[in-house]
Amino acid sequence: MTAQRASRKKSASASRKRTVLFTGFPGFIGARLIPRLLELQSETVFVCLVQEKFLGMARKSVQDLSASHPQTKDRIQLVTGDITSPGLGIASEEAHELHARLTGCYHLAAAYDLAVAREVGMRVNVEGTRNVIEFLSECGHLERLDYVSTAYVSGTAVGVFRESDLDVGQKFKNYYEETKFLAEVAVAKSELPSAIYRPGIVVGDSETGVTAKFDGPYFALNAMNKLPSPGVFMKVGSGTAPVNLVPIDFVLEAIARLSTWEGAIGKTYHLTDPNPLTAFEIEELFSKSLGKSFVYAPIPLAVAKVAFSPSVIQKMFGMPVQTLEYFDHECRFDASQASADLAQFGVSCPPFKDYVQRLVAFYLKNVNDITRGAMV
Using the predicted structure, report yes or no on whether residue 14 has a pLDDT greater than 70.
Answer: no
Residues sharing a CB contact under 8 Å with residue 330, sequence separation 6 or more, in sequence order: 158, 159, 241, 242
Range of the domain at 182: 3-192
pLDDT for residue 59: 97
Using the predicted structure, report yes or no on whether residue 69 has a pLDDT greater than 80.
Answer: yes
pLDDT for residue 304: 84
pLDDT for residue 319: 74
- Indicate the number of domains in the chain: 1
Per-residue pLDDT band for 68 (boundaries 50, 70, 90) equals very high
Residue 214 is assigned to a structural domain of this protein:
no
Q: How confident is the model over 189-222, as pLDDT tens digits?
A: 998 999 999 999 999 999 999 999 888 899 889 8
Residue 369 is assigned to a structural domain of this protein:
no
Using the predicted structure, report yes or no on whether residue 33 has a pLDDT greater than 70.
Answer: yes
Average pLDDT over residues 348-367: 97
Using the predicted structure, report yes or no on whether residue 373 has a pLDDT greater than 70.
Answer: no
Average pLDDT over residues 68-91: 96
Residue 44 is assigned to a structural domain of this protein:
yes
Residue 106 is assigned to a structural domain of this protein:
yes
Residue 159 is assigned to a structural domain of this protein:
yes
Q: How confident is the model over 96-152, as pLDDT tens digits?
A: 999 999 999 999 999 998 999 999 999 999 999 999 999 999 999 999 999 999 999
Residue 108 is assigned to a structural domain of this protein:
yes
Per-residue pLDDT band for 375 (boundaries 50, 70, 90) equals very low
Assess contact for 44 and 20: CB atoms under 8 A: yes
Using the predicted structure, report yes or no on whether residue 44 has a pLDDT greater than 70.
Answer: yes
Residue 363 is assigned to a structural domain of this protein:
no
- Evaluate the omega torsion of the peptide bond into residue 199 and state whether it is cis, within 30 degrees of 0: no
Domain at 141, CATH number: 3.40.50.720
- pLDDT averaged over every residue in the chain: 92
Backbone angles phi, psi at 88, to 5 degrees: 60, 15
